[in-house]
């Protein structure tokens, strides 16, 4: 008889499914709310089991707007732990399909149930069905660079102290979207750079080179932070061309703030604008 799984989030149910099956798992039709749980769980585990995620294009586009989810998902893709493809004709439920069992997810209040069946002929048919769907589906390209690549290149090109602050600010956030939902990756980069007097030119070139955002996006974000009284700039003359701009935090409660204080105050200030 198959065992049902009950947990606080979908990631924990996935972990139980992986432990029970011991093989690759198809995650079929996850919701906006469940994809972050799945990515977080995979990020925390040892990566010994591959997960093939089949999801709607609109779901993936929306959820990958969060740098925390997208950056960690990119890490998992690079490590061959996670593969992501598109599904068009979706089942009504969200499913985990693995060798030996099929799990249907049910949400009740703050708990998640994984209702399972291990009836061999049924499981084999479902596994074959989604195996075929997987082979015929289009790959979803995660455009956000991996968190690991961001850290490595930021440390090499800008400095380890800036990387440390980038990580510290990111760790204060549950969501990294910006526009009222945490702070986005460009804002975090500029804040970390401004704490150490980095040139806007250098950090925007780094960000564009690794695919984090364009130089224009960095410039617009700097202007917004400047207009909000969070950062200021100093002109630095160069031999040829226009002066470069050095990023600084303002004295208005930002320059002397700890990372937790800075993260909270920046979100509050931006929400006022």
| Domains of the chain: residue spans and CATH | 5-135 (3.30.870.10), 147-272 (1.10.10)
Q: Is the dihedral of CA 194, 199, 205, 210 positive or negative?
A: negative
- Predicted local distance difference test score (pLDDT) of residue 241: 75
pLDDT of residue 7: 73
More confident residue, 147 or 24: 147
Q: Is the dihedral of CA 259, 264, 267, 270 positive or negative?
A: negative
The answer to whether 185 touches 213, Cβ cutoff 8 Å, is yes
The pLDDT value recorded for residue 219 is 97
Tell me if 138 sits within 8 A of 85, measured CB to CB. Answer: yes
Is 0.85 topped by the overall pTM?
yes
The stretch 201-220 carries a mean pLDDT of 97
73, 115, 235, 248 from 40: Cα distances, Å = 9, 22, 42, 33
Greater pLDDT, 105 or 266? 266
The encoded tokens of residue 252 equal 């208005």
Tokens 């009504």 appear where?
Answer: 92
Inter-CA distances, 21 with 97, 101, 188, Å: 9, 7, 40
**H helix and E strand count, the chain:** 11, 11
Q: Helix, strand, or coil here: 106? A: strand
Q: What is the mean pLDDT of residues 105-127?
A: 84
Name the average pLDDT for the chain: 91
Confidence of residue 245 (pLDDT cuts 50, 70, 90): very high
* DSSP-based three-state secondary structure for 241: coil
């Amino acid at each position: 008889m198959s065992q049902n799984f009950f947990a606080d989030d979908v990631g924990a149910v996935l972990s139980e499914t992986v432990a029970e099956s011991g093989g690759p798992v198809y995650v079929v039709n996850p919701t906006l709310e469940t994809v972050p749980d799945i990515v977080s769980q995979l990020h925390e585990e040892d990566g010994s089991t591959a997960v093939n995620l089949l999801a709607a294009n609109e779901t993936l586009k929306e959820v990958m707007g969060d740098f925390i989810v997208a950056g960690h998902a990119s890490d998992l893709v690079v490590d061959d732990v996670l593969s992501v493809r598109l599904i068009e004709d979706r089942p009504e439920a969200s499913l985990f399909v693995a060798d030996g069992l099929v799990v249907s997810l049910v949400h009740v209040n703050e708990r998640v149930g994984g209702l399972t069946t291990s009836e061999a002929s049924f499981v084999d048919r479902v596994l074959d069905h989604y195996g075929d769907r997987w082979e015929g589906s289009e790959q979803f390209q995660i455009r956000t660079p991996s968190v690991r690549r961001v850290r490595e290149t930021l440390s090499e090109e800008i400095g380890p102290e800036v990387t440390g602050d980038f990580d510290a600010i990111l760790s204060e956030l549950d969501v990294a979207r910006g526009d009222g939902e945490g702070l986005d990756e460009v804002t975090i980069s500029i804040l970390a750079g401004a704490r150490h007097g980095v040139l806007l030119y250098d950090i925007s070139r780094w960000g564009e080179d690794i695919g984090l955002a364009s130089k224009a996006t960095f410039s617009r974000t700097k202007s917004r932070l400047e207009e909000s009284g969070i950062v200021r700039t100093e002109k630095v003359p160069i031999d040829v061309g226009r002066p470069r701009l050095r990023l600084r935090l303002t004295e208005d409660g930002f320059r002397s703030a700890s990372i937790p204080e800075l993260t909270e105050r920046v979100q509050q200030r931006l929400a006022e604008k």
